[in-house]
Amino acid sequence: MSREIIQYIHQLHAYIKSQEQKMKELEKEIGRMKSQLSDLSGRPPVHIDKIDYHFDQLKIERLEGTLTIGLNPNDLQNTDELLLGNLPPFVGKDPEKTREDRELAERIEKSVNAFLDEQLETIVEKATKQLQMETDPSMTKFIREDIRRQLRGQIDSYLQSFRQKHGELPEAELEKQIREQIAADINRGVYAFLSAFRNP
């Protein structure tokens, strides 16, 4: 038998041996997969009911001078626990509101928007730590947008209410008090919303 044939037979033998080894490994892997499949099929099926979250805003036509972040409809009967103010009703915008009031409201709105950009994330983090829960950035974004939708009506309501209670305050003092009140509302509102969200 020639040397080339003997060498070829040796190479063929080595190749067949390596293929046998690979087949054994594949058979073991198939066995493991069958075992896992058998375990999974023996477990009771997991059934998840449909979960719907709906967040209703306060109706625009009757803003109660409160800052309430999204409410679950099931919690609407407990609204009193979540309301943050106790102000007289304010309906829509006063067509006779002076230019000064409009400018003041715009300044307050701009200031509160800056406060939201700078502080809201910290406020949410603090509330989630107190409530021992976790949220993701989309929750903070939702809260920010929800507050901004209510902000102008909130400012108008406070302008009316503070003037009724305190008469003609100096404009700078009025602006300061309303900013501080809304900042306090935001802190309480975030905590109340996350608390309700954690226990729907």
d(CA 123, CA 115): 11
32 Rama sector, left if φ>0, alpha if ψ -120 to 50, beta otherwise: alpha
What residue spans of 132-170 are helical by DSSP H?
A: 137-166
| Burial of 23: CB neighbours in 10 Å, binned 0-12, 13-18, 19+ | exposed
Ordered per-residue pLDDT tens for the chain, 200 residues: 566 677 767 777 788 888 899 999 999 999 999 888 888 777 776 555 554 444 444 333 333 444 565 444 444 444 444 344 443 444 444 555 578 888 899 999 999 999 999 999 999 999 999 988 888 888 888 889 989 988 888 898 888 888 888 777 788 898 999 999 999 999 998 998 888 877 65
Query: What is the reported pLDDT for 86?
Result: 41
Q: How many CB atoms lie within 10 A of CB 142?
A: 16
For residue 163, give the amino acid letter: R
Structure tokens of 103? 């400018």
Residue 53 near residue 72, CB atoms below 8 Å = yes
What is the pTM for the complete model shown? 0.53
pLDDT digits (tens, 9 = 90+) for 6-40: 776 777 778 888 889 999 999 999 999 988 888 87
Structure tokens of 179? 């900013």
Sorted by where each begins, the domain ranges of the chain are 1-47, 60-198
| Burial of 22: CB neighbours in 10 Å, binned 0-12, 13-18, 19+ | exposed
